[in-house]
């Protein structure tokens, strides 16, 4: 017997329905019963209640068992249907059973109901299993027929299919962006895709005769061949990196991958190789390594100076009247300022890279902030800073960030144009924009370097200056201006100096609160 049953009872007499429920409970069946009286209720219950068994009175005022059975049989022929009545008569009962009704129980013999329900459910289960078996058998026969037809087609077209398979494989190899080839287990290359010929510039015959030896960097060749052969001894594949010569003669780093192709006996049939251009990734890794070296050096220099200043101050601490004390304190503060500046550059660059560089705009007179930025340079007496243009113009921007940009531009002018003793700063209003330009008369910047000046970690080396820094200053300046929805740039001509500039939105006087 299965688990809990859903039993649908079609009965208009509540007493008879209760009697059925008691009889069902007495039989020990686990069930949930639903009683309906009308055709509409019956049809709805077939869908929503999903009965496992239907018990139906033979005759109801507006409905009858024969109609109910036909409705059920139309869409749910597998559900057992037992008629329970005291007036149907044996002949009618036999006719109904011949028509497909599962069974009949007289209301005077309800004690037989449990037995007949069990038999009906078992018969229903057997019919379902038989139907399922027949369906599976039909599906299997159909699949076998289809398989047989397919095998016949395969036998007839085997040679053609193999040729088409090889063609598809080669087409796939031609669609991938990497250089690709196949080689035998003995390392003989049997196929190169078009990427190989485009990249190396070799013809097919040249590739057969010279192959890898003609394009692999001489310094990488022996190690590459050794790694290539060691992978062929495995069954899992592998990878290594070498430099491969391009058709223009340049060597570019590539990641070589080899993977085995197995046959039906799980033996290696051939090897598929690919070469992926990773030159840019290698350069980025080199930039990162160079940056770590530069950052270590730049941080070490002021820290060493600071350490020496502190050691000297410790020696003369008992002689506060010494003239050296004031100078050492000044030097220590200067070194500490450099360390803080370098750390700020690192933090600002990290924030800019993650889109977290924050600005706090306010109204201020631009020339006043620029004057404040140049005071330290003016005080040293070596360089003069001349501010010209519209000195009354106001902007709405982050004061601290704009100071950072101006100081960076001034320091760069001193660093890369040390012989240009006058630095001009121009403030001009152009339409709805304010343009600030820092101008020096130094040696200028080579044209090929101009596009990279605002890149992260880029440092324009100058043989005539002792450049320092992390290569982050101009990158941070560009990110600050981007946050202000402005523009930043540089103009330079060799022998005539450089102009670094940025723009901010002008503030209308009536808009200031």
List of domains in the chain: 5-130 (3.40.50.2300), 172-282 (3.30.450.20), 283-354 (1.10.287.130), 362-505 (3.30.565.10)
β-strand partners of 474: none
| Contact indicator for 428, 370 with CB cutoff of 8 Å | no
Query: Encoding tokens for residue 19?
Result: 């009697």
pLDDT at 428 over 90: yes
Other Cβ atoms less than 10 A from the Cβ of 8: the count is 25
**pLDDT band of 1, cuts 50, 70, 90:** very low
Instruction: Please state which of the ranges 289-298, 392-401, 503-512 shows the lowest mean pLDDT.
Output: 289-298
What CA–CA distance (Å, rounded) separates 158 from 151?
10
pLDDT digits (tens, 9 = 90+) for 348-380: 555 555 566 677 899 999 999 899 888 877 777
pLDDT, tens only, 122-146: 888 888 888 788 788 788 778 877 7
The secondary element (H helix, E strand) that includes residue 488 is strand 488-493
| Cα distance between residue 430 and residue 501, in whole Å | 13
* DSSP state at residue 227: H
Q: Which residues contact 257 (CB under 8 A, 6 or more apart)?
A: 237, 238, 239, 273, 274, 275, 276
Q: Do 247 and 261 contact (CB within 8 A), yes or no?
A: no
189 beta partners: 183
Beta carbons of 68 and 43 less than 8 angstroms apart = no
Angle between helices 14-26 and 113-156 (to 10 degrees): 70
Check residue 489 and give its pLDDT. Answer: 93
Region 506-511: what's the mean pLDDT? Answer: 62
List own/partner pairs for 130-139 with CB under 8 A and 24 or more apart.
none
Across 274-278, 473-477, 494-498, least confident range = 473-477
Instruction: Tokens for 3, please give them.
Output: 């688990």
Residue 110: pLDDT over 50:
yes
- Contact residues for 507 (Cβ-Cβ < 8 A; gap 6+): 363, 394, 395, 396
**Which one-letter DSSP state was computed for residue 216?**
B
Query: What is the average pLDDT score of the chain?
Result: 80
The pLDDT of 146-161, averaged and rounded, is 63
How sure is the predictor about 167, in pLDDT bands with cuts at 50, 70 and 90? Answer: low
* CA–CA dist 154, 475 (Å, integer): 64
First-last CA distance in the chain: 86
pLDDT of residue 408: 85
What's this model's pTM, rounded to 2 decimal places? 0.40
pLDDT band at residue 48 under the 50/70/90 scheme: very high
**Per-residue pLDDT for 159 more than 50?**
no
User: Could you say which DSSP state residue 211 is in?
Assistant: G
């Amino acid at each position: 017997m299965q688990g809990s049953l859903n039993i649908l009872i079609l009965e208009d007499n509540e007493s008879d329905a209760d009697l059925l429920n008691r009889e069902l409970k007495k039989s020990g069946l686990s069930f949930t019963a639903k009683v309906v009286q009308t055709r509409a209720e019956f049809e709805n219950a077939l869908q929503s209640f999903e009965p496992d068994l239907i018990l139906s009175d033979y005759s109801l005022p507006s409905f009858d068992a024969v109609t109910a059975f036909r409705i059920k049989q139309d869409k749910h022929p597998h559900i057992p249907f037992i008629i329970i009545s005291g007036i149907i008569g044996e002949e009618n009962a036999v006719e109904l059973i011949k028509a497909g009704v599962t069974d009949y129980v007289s209301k005077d013999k309800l004690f037989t109901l449990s037995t007949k329900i069990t038999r009906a459910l078992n018969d229903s289960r057997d019919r379902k299993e038989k139907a399922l078996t027949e369906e599976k058998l039909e599906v299997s026969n159909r699949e076998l027929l289809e398989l047989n037809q397919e095998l016949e087609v395969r036998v007839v077209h085997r040679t053609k299919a193999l040729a088409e398979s090889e063609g598809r494989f080669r087409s796939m190899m031609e669609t991938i962006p990497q250089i690709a080839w196949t080689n035998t287990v003995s390392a003989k290359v049997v196929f190169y895709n078009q990427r190989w010929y485009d990249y190396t510039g070799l013809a097919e015959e040249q590739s057969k005769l010279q192959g890898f030896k003609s394009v692999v960097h001489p310094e990488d060749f022996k190690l590459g061949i050794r790694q290539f052969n060691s992978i062929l001894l495995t069954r899992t594949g592998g990878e290594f990196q070498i430099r491969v010569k391009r058709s223009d003669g340049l060597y570019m780093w590539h990641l070589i991958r080899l993977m085995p192709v197995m046959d039906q006996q799980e033996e290696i049939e051939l090897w598929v190789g690919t070469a992926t251009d990773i030159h840019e990734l290698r350069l980025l890794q080199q930039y990162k390594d160079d940056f770590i070296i530069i950052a270590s050096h730049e941080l070490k220099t002021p820290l060493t100076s600071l350490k020496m200043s502190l050691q000297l101050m410790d020696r003369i601490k008992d002689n506060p009247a010494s003239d050296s004390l004031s100078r050492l304190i000044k030097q220590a503060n200067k070194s500490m300022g450099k360390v803080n500046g370098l750390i700020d550059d690192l933090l600002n660059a990290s924030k800019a890279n993650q889109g977290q560089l924050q600005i706090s705009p306010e109204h201020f007179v631009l020339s006043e902030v620029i004057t404040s930025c140049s005071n330290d340079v003016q005080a040293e007496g070596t360089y003069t800073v001349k501010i010209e243009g519209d000195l009354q113009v106001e902007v709405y921007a982050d004061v601290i960030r704009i100071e950072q940009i101006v100081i960076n531009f001034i320091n760069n002018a001193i660093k890369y144009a040390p012989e240009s003793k006058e630095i001009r700063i121009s403030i001009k209003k152009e339409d709805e924009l304010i343009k600030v330009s820092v101008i020096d008369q130094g040696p200028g910047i080579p044209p090929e370097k101009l596009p990279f000046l605002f890149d992260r970690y880029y440092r324009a080396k100058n043989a005539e200056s002792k450049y320092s820094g992390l290569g982050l200053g101009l990158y941070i300046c560009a990110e600050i201006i981007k946050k202000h929805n402005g523009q930043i740039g540089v103009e330079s001509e060799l022998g005539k100096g450089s102009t670094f500039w940025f723009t901010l939105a002008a503030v209308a006087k009536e808009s200031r609160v």
